[in-house]
Structure 1
Amino acid sequence: MKPAEAYDFRRPSSLVREHSRVLELAFETFARQWGTQLTAKVRKLFQVSCDQVQMHTYNEYASSLPATTAMVLCSIEGEGARAVIQFPTAAALAWVGHMVGSTTSFAAPSRKFTAIEQALIRSLLDEALDDLRYSLGSLLLAPIAVDAIQYNSQFAQAAATGDLMIVASFTITVGERVVPATVALPAEVVLPQLGGAGRPIVARDARDLMRSQVVGTPVDVSVQLAPAMVLPGVILGLAVGDVLALPHPSHRPLDVVVSGLPLATAAVGSNGSRLACVVVTTEENP
């Protein structure tokens, strides 16, 4: 079971539940494909699992990453914002080591990649992008390619700080070594393929959306006499034929009540053969 997540009403930005599930299935397929591809290329048994898919601004996404990490920026044809594949540099160095015949463990130091290491990592990622295109199918129509590799998450500018990104989090397991990874795609590239209902809910829409939801939600309405205060002893002693005196004057209209709150007054009337009430006054109740 996934833990409950806090919802920020000041920035209501989220995915429609059905579309979130579509993306989760697509990224789960990518995780399996990526694990198979890494196993074949690195010659170590890889298991990749998709943990969650969320939507964040680029600034929130970059702030959640380690200060030093491998961020592979991928250009998308026709788009200014770039996709990101992120993973620890130490893990990538160990993968490259196994590709060239090293038997060292994953405890490699974090550093920038050499030209040869970059070439090997690019070859891994070119195939990973093929798997990503295959897994997303019609959700990712534009061609995507490796553009550059950055090592500082705060300086890598894949998109504007306020741009929304679809962020998939992964766990990569190799033997006893477990490392996190993420894939971030610009939301404007993916959401149109999910349909109009999948667009993000932004703050300026929240008021209108809440109003339309409240207006369309059914509520129970009752017409009541003024309540009477009665001792428990009287209630316990009630029997058939007893009369309770009510403090409601005969000339006073009845109260129209919604969820215990009086919102109007009404006189008894009829609507055809049905008993009805006619609203005579309304009142504002904070």
Structure 2
Amino acid sequence: MGEVLSQSEIDELLSALSSGEITPEQVPENKDKQQVKSYDFRSPKKFSKDHITTLEMVHENYARIIAGYLSAQVRLNVQVKVALVDQVTYEEFIKSISSPTILTVYKMPPLEGTLLLETSPQFVFQVLDIMFGGTGTTVYKPREFTDIEKTVIRSINEKLVENLKLAWEDILDVQPELLDIETNPALNQTMAPNEPVAIVTLTVKINEIQTYINLCIPYLAIEKIIDKLVVKYWFTGSNNDDNGAVRKIIEKRIQDVTLNMEAVLGKTQIPVKSFMDLQLGDVIRLDQSVNAPLNMYIGGKLHYKVVPGTHKKKRAVQISEVIRKDVEEYGQ
């Protein structure tokens, strides 16, 4: 704590200042001065670090689940990851997203009220382009959605909402249900502007193009179950039964992890000049014999030899030889 001046010392200091013997800049600052941190009472922080961490864990699980669903829809490898979990006001969230966009309003009993899922227009148009026969690499240009596009994306978002049940099942048995979709976020009045919300931002990568999905979770929706959004709630137990339950949760999560499987048709090398001269209809000779089995990789490692073919009008492969099988070996 700084030294307290006597009244005579204060008088001498004031006299020296008025006479010009010393300047205000020469008066020593109190180095022990208490640091003051600003606090906005209009947007108090309702979510603790534990709450944010738990929401991140829940939605990492959700990201894996919907990656599998989206991959099946577009028949391409889709990578979904949690990019950010943050808390803001509802007004700040609405101002941060595009317009038009696809804003899905849903409920998730026993949580209170409504929640929001925003699929960015870049994501929506890429998925629609692929589903309608395109490559998904068309440059996005802002425009309104057609009625057909809104109908198709509604069915996709309905499944995205339904998959929240699987993501939350380790914490709570929820019953998600889509209520409505809107394209103008400013018209959505389901929450007060200053209502605290947690925003979970997911990145979605298809064909090396990255887009976004946002989930908006109002504090009022989870206030009654907020105590369950603590990691210790999951992993602390007073008996062996609790420990067994935790083990089952961990085992289930491991089993639900999705793996990328790739069957490689073949490889080759060509000079840059030949690459630059490639035209539509040119034939590229690969290093793979017509009758030779293909290599199938899991997580970038060779695991199987497979034979290509078709199954129920879809391309398929049949395993002809197992190269690697042990889980321990796979993790090396």
How high is the TM-score relative to the length of structure 1? Answer: 0.59
Code of the residue aligned with 1:9 in structure 2: it is Y
Code of the residue aligned with 2:54 in structure 1: it is V
- Per-residue Cα deviation, 1:138-190 (whole angstroms, up to 9, x for no partner): 65555322222222222222312122222101111112211122111222222
Residue 32 of structure 2 corresponds to which residue in structure 1?
Answer: none
> Is the contact made by 1:80 and 1:159 (CA closer than 8 Å) also made in structure 2?
no
Residue 88 of structure 1 corresponds to which residue in structure 2?
Answer: 120
State how far apart, in whole Å, the 2-side matches of 1:166 and 1:89 are. 21
Q: How does 1:92-171 map onto structure 2 within 5 Å?
A: 92-103=124-135, 105-137=137-169, 139=171, 141-171=173-203
Code of the residue aligned with 2:227 in structure 1: it is G
Q: Does 1:22 align with 2:54?
A: yes
Q: Does 1:57 align with 2:89?
A: yes
By how many angstroms is 1:196 displaced?
8.4
Code of the residue aligned with 1:126 in structure 2: it is E
Q: 2:74 pairs with 26, 38, 42, which one?
A: 42
> Is the contact made by 1:16 and 1:197 (CA closer than 8 Å) also made in structure 2?
no
Does 56-65 or 21-30 show the bigger shift?
56-65
Code of the residue aligned with 2:39 in structure 1: it is F
> Is the contact made by 1:139 and 1:190 (CA closer than 8 Å) also made in structure 2?
no
Q: 2:40 pairs with 2, 10, 17, which one?
A: 10
Q: Kindly, what percent of the aligned residue pairs are identical?
A: 20
Task: Considering fraction of residues, name the structure with more strand.
Answer: 1
By how many angstroms is 1:88 displaced?
2.2
How high is the TM-score relative to the length of structure 2? Answer: 0.52
Cα 1:82/1:102, change in 2 over 3 Å: same
Cα 1:187/1:169, change in 2 over 3 Å: same
State how far apart, in whole Å, the 2-side matches of 1:197 and 1:133 are. 16
State how far apart, in whole Å, the 1-side matches of 2:219 and 2:173 are. 13
Answer 1 or 2: higher relative contact order, Cα 8 Å, separation at least 6: 1
Q: 2:224 pairs with 192, 201, 208, which one?
A: 192
Q: Kindly report the root-mean-square deviation, in angstroms, between the aligned alpha carbons of the 2 structures.
A: 2.6
> Is the contact made by 1:138 and 1:193 (CA closer than 8 Å) also made in structure 2?
no
**Structure (1 or 2) with the larger CA radius of gyration:** 1
> Is the contact made by 1:171 and 1:181 (CA closer than 8 Å) also made in structure 2?
yes
SS at match of 1:173: strand
Which consecutive unaligned segments of at least 5 residues does structure 2 have?
1-36, 231-332
- Per-residue Cα deviation, 1:217-268 (whole angstroms, up to 9, x for no partner): xxxxxxxxxxxxxxxxxxxxxxxxxxxxxxxxxxxxxxxxxxxxxxxxxxxx
State how far apart, in whole Å, the 1-side matches of 2:129 and 2:105 are. 23
By how many angstroms is 1:76 displaced?
4.2
State how far apart, in whole Å, the 1-side matches of 2:117 and 2:229 are. 27
- Per-residue Cα deviation, 1:29-87 (whole angstroms, up to 9, x for no partner): 11111111111112222111111222222112112222432212223458774211112
Code of the residue aligned with 1:58 in structure 2: it is Y
SS at match of 2:56: helix
Code of the residue aligned with 2:62 in structure 1: it is F
Does 68-77 or 46-55 show the bigger shift?
68-77
Q: 2:106 pairs with 68, 74, 80, which one?
A: 74
By how many angstroms is 1:90 displaced?
3.6
Count of residues paired in the alignment? 192
State how far apart, in whole Å, the 2-side matches of 1:84 and 1:90 are. 18
> Is the contact made by 1:170 and 1:180 (CA closer than 8 Å) also made in structure 2?
yes
